[in-house]
Chain A
Amino acid sequence: MKTSLYANLQKKIIIITLLVSLAPLIILGVTMYYQFSQTCRDKIEEQIRYRSGAQAEAVDLFLKERTAILGAMAASHNFHEMIEGKDLSRVFEVMNLWAGAFVDLGVIDSAGQHLAYVGPYDLKGLNYYQQPWFAEVMSKGIYISDVYMGYRQLPHFIIAVRRQEGQNSWILRATVDPDIFGGIVRSAQIGKTGDAYIINKDGVFQTNPRFEGRILAESNLDTRLFGGRTTVIEQKNTRGRELLYAGSWLKNDKWLLVISQDPREQMSGLFAARNVEILIIISGILAIILATIFTTHLTVSRLRQADLRMNELNAELIQSDKLAAIGKMAAGVAHEINNPLAVILQKTGWMEDLLFEENFQNAKNLEEYKESIKIIEEYVERARKVVHSMLGYARKMEPHLEDVDINGTINQTIDMLENYARTNNIDIQTDLDKDIPIIAGDEAQLQQVFMNLISNAIDAIGKNGLVQVKSRREGTNIAVSIRDDGPGIPQDQQKKVFDPFFTTKGTGKGTGLGLWVTYDIIKGMGGAITLKSEVGKGTTFVVNIPIVIPEKK
C-alpha cells in the first residue's frame, strides 16, 4: 500500500518532468526541421523556376533563329529561282551552314503543290492544301507546327514562311531535326531524377522526355495549371512520387517547356541535417529520461527514508505521550483507591482489636474471624503494592543528583539477586567497562532500572540459564545491555512490553509495571531503552544513559 504510494509518486514526478522537459525539445526540433525544409524547398523551387525560364529562353532563341534564317532565305530568292535547278539545295546548304538542325527544305505554291524539295524523303509532288498548317501559314505568314507524323511517318515539326511576290504567294517550308531540337531541351535535365521536355497545350509531348512516356504521348500534365511566364507546381507522377514541375510558356504560347525534379534529390543535405538533429534530440531525450529517473529515484528514496524516520519518531512520541497520560491518570486513580484501602485496613484493624476483648475470646468462630482478617489485610497489601508500583514512587520523586558509579550500582543489584538466581540455577555473568566515568544521577532510580531488567531476565529464563550484563562507553552515552537466553518475546508482543499492566507472569506474580516504570525513569534521564528479541534464542535489553559529569564540589 505504502510502497505503491511511492511508486505512484515516482511515476507522477517522472511523467511531469519528462513532459515539461521533452515537449519543448520536440516542438523545437519539429519547428526547426519544418522551417529548414521550407527554406530548402523554396530554394529548390527558385532554382527550378530559374532553370525553366532560362531554358525556355534558349529554346525560344533557337526557334527564332531558325524562323529568321528561313524568312531571310524566302525574302532573298524569288519563286522561280527556288523551284528551278540547284538553287534550293544551295539555299538548304547555306541554311544548315549558318543555323543547322534542318532536315529538309521544300517550296510549296499557293495551291498546296510541293514543287521543289531537298531532303532525305521523297516528298516532291505531294499536295498540302488539305493540311491544317497550310491554311495557317497562308493567313499568318509564319508558322511553327506541333510535332506530328506527317507523310514520312516520323515525329517532326516544321517551320514555314510565306513569300508574297506580286500577286503570287508561295511557301518555304523546313523540317527541324527532332533529335537536335530535343537535345537542346534535354540539356536542362540534371541529376538522376531531373527531366526537361516540351508539351503542347493539350499536354502532348513535343520532345522525348527522359522518363514516363515518349514523344507524341500524353504527359498527364494539365497545362491549364501553368500561367504567366513560369509556374511551379507540385504533383504526383504516374509512379506516385511527388515531383516539382516548372513550366514556362514559349513565345508562341503553344508550347510549354517543363522541367521536373524530385525535390528529395536536392534535399539530401536537408535529410543529413535532419538525421543529425534527430540523433541529437534522441540522445537529449535519453539523457533527460535517465537523469529524470535517476534524480526522481533519489528524491523518492530520500523521501521514503525521511518518512520512515518520521514514523519512528511519531511512534516513539505516541508511546511516550501514551505513557505520560497513563501516568497522570494513575496518580488520580491511586488517590481514589488508596483512601478506600486505608479505611478497609483501619476497619479490619479495629475488628482485630475488638477480638481481643473478653466477650469475643470465647466466641465460637474466633479463629475463623482472625484468619479472615489476616487474609483481608494480605489482599489490601497486595492492592497497595499494585497502586504504589503503578505510581512508581521512585520516578515520582524529583530525581536527586548524586555521584553514581554505574558499574558499582550494577554489582550491588546483582548481589541482591544472586541468591534468587542461584536457587533457579541461573548464572549471572558481568562484562563491565572499567573506563565508565562517574556520572551525576539518581542511584536509587538506576538501581530500580537494573533490578527490574535483571529480575525480568531471570524470570524469563525460569530455570537453568545464563544472564549476561555488559556495560560500555559509547560516545556520550553509557550503554548497559542485559541479555538472557530465555524463550524470547514474540514480535507482536515486543511493542507492548513497556505498556503498563502488560505482563506474561501469572496472576499476583507480576504487576506489569516494572518495564513501564523503567521506561519512564530512563526517559526522565534523557536516555533510551531498546530491546532485541528472537523467539527461542533470548532477549537483550539495552539501556543508553547520557553521561552527565558531576559538578565539582
Chain B
Amino acid sequence: MDYFRVLIVDDEKPFVDTLVNRFNKRNIDTTGVFSGEEALELMKEKLFDVVILDIKMPGGMDGIETLREIKRIQPLSEVILLTGHGSVETSIEGMKLGAFDYILKPVKLEELLVKMADAFEKKDAHDQKIRSAKIKELIRFPGRVLEQEKEEE
C-alpha cells in the first residue's frame, strides 16, 4: 500500500485515539481530531488524502457542514462518512455532496482499511491525471508551471 495521510474526525475520543494508534501501527500516517472546527483548522495547513468523518457530532459543526467545508478547502481529498445513526438518508446526502462512501458503526478495521484503500486509489488516479496534465503543460510552457506551483504553496 502506498503511503497516504489520513484524518479521523469524531467526537468520541477513545474511538479516535484507538483508530489512530491502530493505523499508525500499520504505518498509515494518521491524525485524529474531535470536532469539525479542529479538522478544518488542520486541513488549512496540511494535506490529507482520506478523511474519515463522523456525520453526527453533538455541539458545533455537524458532519455534513464539515464535509462541505472540507470539499471547499481540499477538493481532492476523499471523505468516508461514518454513521452510528440509522439515518442513511443523511449519508446519501453526504455522498451527493461528494463523499466517497459511508460506513455504519461499529466497523471492523479490515473493512475500513478496504474502503480507505479504494478511496485512496481514486484520489491517486485523480492526482495522476493532474500530474500528467501538469507534465504536458511543463513540456509546452515550462515557465507557467513554476508560477502555478508557487501559487499553490
Tell me which of B18, B25, B85, B92 contacts A346 (CB under 8 A). B18
Q: Which of B25, B104, B106 has the most CB of A within 10 A?
A: B106
Q: Please measure, in the bound complex, the distance between the C-alpha atom of A344 and the C-alpha atom of B18, giving whole angstroms.
A: 10
Q: Hey, which chain B residues are within 8 Å of A423, CB to CB?
A: none
**A397 in the interface, Cβ–Cβ < 8 Å?**
yes
Given A349-B22, A398-B92, answer yes or no on A335-B85 (Cβ-Cβ < 8 Å).
yes
- The distance from the CB of A354 to the nearest CB of chain B, in whole angstroms, is 9
Q: Which of B12, B56, B84, B92 has the most CB of A within 10 A?
A: B84
Query: What would 13 more interface pairs be, CB under 8 Å, given A342-B84, A397-B89?
Result: A331-B85, A341-B105, A345-B107, A346-B18, A346-B109, A349-B22, A349-B109, A350-B18, A350-B21, A384-B106, A393-B88, A396-B89, A397-B92
Given A334-B84, A350-B18, answer yes or no on A342-B106 (Cβ-Cβ < 8 Å).
yes
**A225 in the interface, Cβ–Cβ < 8 Å?**
no
Q: Please measure, in the bound complex, the distance between the C-alpha atom of A349 and the C-alpha atom of B113, giving whole angstroms.
A: 13
Q: 25 A-B residue contacts at CB 8 Å?
A: A330-B86, A334-B86, A335-B56, A338-B104, A338-B105, A339-B15, A341-B105, A342-B84, A342-B106, A342-B107, A345-B107, A346-B109, A347-B18, A349-B18, A349-B22, A350-B21, A353-B25, A388-B104, A391-B86, A393-B86, A393-B88, A393-B104, A396-B86, A397-B89, A398-B92
Q: Hey, which chain B residues are within 8 Å of A391, CB to CB?
A: 86
- The distance from the CB of A361 to the nearest CB of chain B, in whole angstroms, is 16
**B14 in the interface, Cβ–Cβ < 8 Å?**
yes
Q: Please measure, in the bound complex, the distance between the C-alpha atom of A347 and the C-alpha atom of B88, giving whole angstroms.
A: 26
**B19 in the interface, Cβ–Cβ < 8 Å?**
yes
**B148 in the interface, Cβ–Cβ < 8 Å?**
no
Q: Please measure, in the bound complex, the distance between the C-alpha atom of A391 and the C-alpha atom of B25, giving whole angstroms.
A: 34
Q: Hey, which chain B residues are within 8 Å of A398, CB to CB?
A: 89, 92
Q: Please measure, in the bound complex, the distance between the C-alpha atom of A339 and the C-alpha atom of B25, giving whole angstroms.
A: 23
Q: Hey, which chain A residues are within 8 Å of B132, CB to CB?
A: none
- The distance from the CB of B111 to the nearest CB of chain A, in whole angstroms, is 11
Tell me which of B14, B25, B56, B89 contacts A343 (CB under 8 A). B14
**A95 in the interface, Cβ–Cβ < 8 Å?**
no
Contact between chains at B14 and A339 (CB < 8 Å): no
**A380 in the interface, Cβ–Cβ < 8 Å?**
yes
Contact between chains at A339 and B105 (CB < 8 Å): yes
Q: Please measure, in the bound complex, the distance between the C-alpha atom of A345 and the C-alpha atom of B84, giving whole angstroms.
A: 13
- The distance from the CB of A248 to the nearest CB of chain B, in whole angstroms, is 114
- Measured CB to CB, the nearest residue on chain A to B89 is A398
Q: Hey, which chain B residues are within 8 Å of A342, CB to CB?
A: 12, 15, 84, 105-107
Contact between chains at A343 and B87 (CB < 8 Å): no
- The distance from the CB of B12 to the nearest CB of chain A, in whole angstroms, is 5
Q: Please measure, in the bound complex, the distance between the C-alpha atom of A350 and the C-alpha atom of B56, giving whole angstroms.
A: 24
Given A346-B18, A349-B22, answer yes or no on A339-B84 (Cβ-Cβ < 8 Å).
yes
Q: Hey, which chain B residues are within 8 Å of A353, CB to CB?
A: 21-22, 25
Q: Hey, which chain A residues are within 8 Å of B85, CB to CB?
A: 331, 334-335, 338
Q: Please measure, in the bound complex, the distance between the C-alpha atom of A391 and the C-alpha atom of B87, giving whole angstroms.
A: 9
Tell me which of B25, B84, B108 contacts A338 (CB under 8 A). B84
- Measured CB to CB, the nearest residue on chain B to A337 is B84
Taking Cβ atoms with an 8 Å cutoff, the residues of B that contact A are 12, 14-15, 18-19, 21-22, 25, 56, 84-89, 92, 104-109
Chain A residues numbered 271-287 whose CB sits less than 8 Å from any CB in chain B:
none
- Measured CB to CB, the nearest residue on chain A to B54 is A339
Interface flags, A391-403, vs B, CB<8A=1, else 0 = 1010011100000
Given A331-B86, A342-B15, A396-B89, answer yes or no on A350-B104 (Cβ-Cβ < 8 Å).
no
Q: Please measure, in the bound complex, the distance between the C-alpha atom of A347 and the C-alpha atom of B16, giving whole angstroms.
A: 10
Q: Please measure, in the bound complex, the distance between the C-alpha atom of A398 and the C-alpha atom of B89, giving whole angstroms.
A: 7
Tell me which of B19, B56, B84, B87 contacts A396 (CB under 8 A). B87
Q: Hey, which chain B residues are within 8 Å of A345, CB to CB?
A: 106-108
Q: Hey, which chain B residues are within 8 Å of A393, CB to CB?
A: 86, 88, 104
Q: Please measure, in the bound complex, the distance between the C-alpha atom of A341 and the C-alpha atom of B15, giving whole angstroms.
A: 10
Q: Hey, which chain A residues are within 8 Å of B104, CB to CB?
A: 338, 388, 393
Q: Hey, which chain A residues are within 8 Å of B88, CB to CB?
A: 393, 396-397
- Measured CB to CB, the nearest residue on chain A to B56 is A335
Q: Hey, which chain B residues are within 8 Å of A335, CB to CB?
A: 56, 84-86
Chain A residues numbered 26-61 whose CB sits less than 8 Å from any CB in chain B:
none
Chain A residues numbered 517-552 whose CB sits less than 8 Å from any CB in chain B:
none
Q: Which of A350, A380, A397 has the most CB of B within 10 A?
A: A350
- The distance from the CB of A329 to the nearest CB of chain B, in whole angstroms, is 11
- The distance from the CB of B80 to the nearest CB of chain A, in whole angstroms, is 14
- Measured CB to CB, the nearest residue on chain A to B14 is A343
Interface pairs A-B: 7 shortest CB-CB: A338-B84, A391-B86, A331-B86, A342-B106, A346-B18, A341-B106, A342-B105
Q: Hey, which chain B residues are within 8 Å of A337, CB to CB?
A: 84
Q: Hey, which chain B residues are within 8 Å of A343, CB to CB?
A: 12, 14-15, 18
Chain A residues numbered 297-344 whose CB sits less than 8 Å from any CB in chain B:
330-331, 334-335, 337-339, 341-344
Q: Please measure, in the bound complex, the distance between the C-alpha atom of A346 and the C-alpha atom of B112, giving whole angstroms.
A: 11
Q: Please measure, in the bound complex, the distance between the C-alpha atom of A344 and the C-alpha atom of B85, giving whole angstroms.
A: 17
- The distance from the CB of B115 to the nearest CB of chain A, in whole angstroms, is 15
Q: Hey, which chain A residues are within 8 Å of B109, CB to CB?
A: 346, 349
Contact between chains at A339 and B18 (CB < 8 Å): no
Q: Please measure, in the bound complex, the distance between the C-alpha atom of A119 and the C-alpha atom of B86, giving whole angstroms.
A: 143
Q: Please measure, in the bound complex, the distance between the C-alpha atom of A337 and the C-alpha atom of B15, giving whole angstroms.
A: 14
- The distance from the CB of A130 to the nearest CB of chain B, in whole angstroms, is 141
- The distance from the CB of B91 to the nearest CB of chain A, in whole angstroms, is 10
Q: Please measure, in the bound complex, the distance between the C-alpha atom of A35 and the C-alpha atom of B105, giving whole angstroms.
A: 97
Given A342-B105, A346-B22, A350-B21, answer yes or no on A331-B87 (Cβ-Cβ < 8 Å).
yes
Tell me which of A330, A331, A380, A396 contacts B106 (CB under 8 A). A380
Chain A residues numbered 381-420 whose CB sits less than 8 Å from any CB in chain B:
384, 388, 391, 393, 396-398
Q: Please measure, in the bound complex, the distance between the C-alpha atom of A349 and the C-alpha atom of B107, giving whole angstroms.
A: 11
Q: Hey, which chain B residues are within 8 Å of A380, CB to CB?
A: 106
Q: Hey, which chain B residues are within 8 Å of A341, CB to CB?
A: 105-106
